[in-house]
A = this chain, B = another copy of it.
Amino acid sequence: MIRIENMYKIYNMGDNEVRALDGVSLHIGANEFVSIVGPSGSGKSTLMNMIGCLDTPTEGKYYIDGTEVSQMRDDQLAEIRNRKVGFIFQSYNLLGRLTVLENVELPLIYAGLAKNERRHLAKEALKKVGLEGREHHRPNQLSGGQQQRVAIARALVNKPSLILADEPTGALDSKTGEEIMQMLREIHQEGNTVVLITHDKEIAKNAKRMISIHDGKIFSDCEVKYA
């Protein structure tokens, strides 16, 4: 489903260079549940942005379902970003001037759904993450963990087949975090692919496979035996 070959992402900053990805090759199949772990600054978010077609590499190839992404037309890329991938960003990326409900409806607008249908699905998604009653508030009226849950609801509302979750429980207490992980496990069981960046070893154990990144390189790629 996803194949990355020899990918580099190098930032040139005056007289020093930052090698965010330094020769990464990776294959993720359909219906996998993969966690990506590694130290702060090691390249996890950069890798995820590449997988989600939000960034382009300095070098290397990226194939989705056999088609090379750099050869895709803009409308094909937009289709992938808006319909096939659900992205939970490390810093949420909510739109401050929209209400919580409008933020969650955004992917459904891209999907071309009618207003009533969008409103209904978005409300259901917010209920699922425990934010019923906060629909008409703005993001800056919510706590950190509540904002994270809006970002989660938005990523899942379109039922995408690939979920990219960058530290999805970072701002949540363990009970709420476990509810979110339960949602991701269900999405995986429904046949979808989940790629999860996390620092939390407990959270990482939800995945069947753990990829460890260090200084922009893949350090290890392990099958998780214990459950």
Contact = CB atoms under 8 A, between A and B. Distances in A.
B143 A41 contact: yes
Contacts of A91: 91, 144
B143 A173 contact: no
B145 A40 contact: yes
Total copies of the chain: 2
A70 interface: no
B174 A144 contact: no
A173 B213 CA distance: 12
Given A137-B13, A141-B11, A174 B201 contact: yes
A173 B137 contact: no
A16 B135 CA distance: 12
Interface range for A? 35 or more
A187 to B, nearest CB: 21
Interface in A144-173: 144-146, 148-149, 166-167, 170-173
Nearest to A137: B13
A227 B133 CA distance: 41
A144 B90 contact: yes
A8 B45 CA distance: 39
A45 B201 CA distance: 26
Contacts of A201: 174
- 4 closest A-B pairs by beta carbon, nearest first, are A40-B145, A90-B144, A39-B173, A173-B199
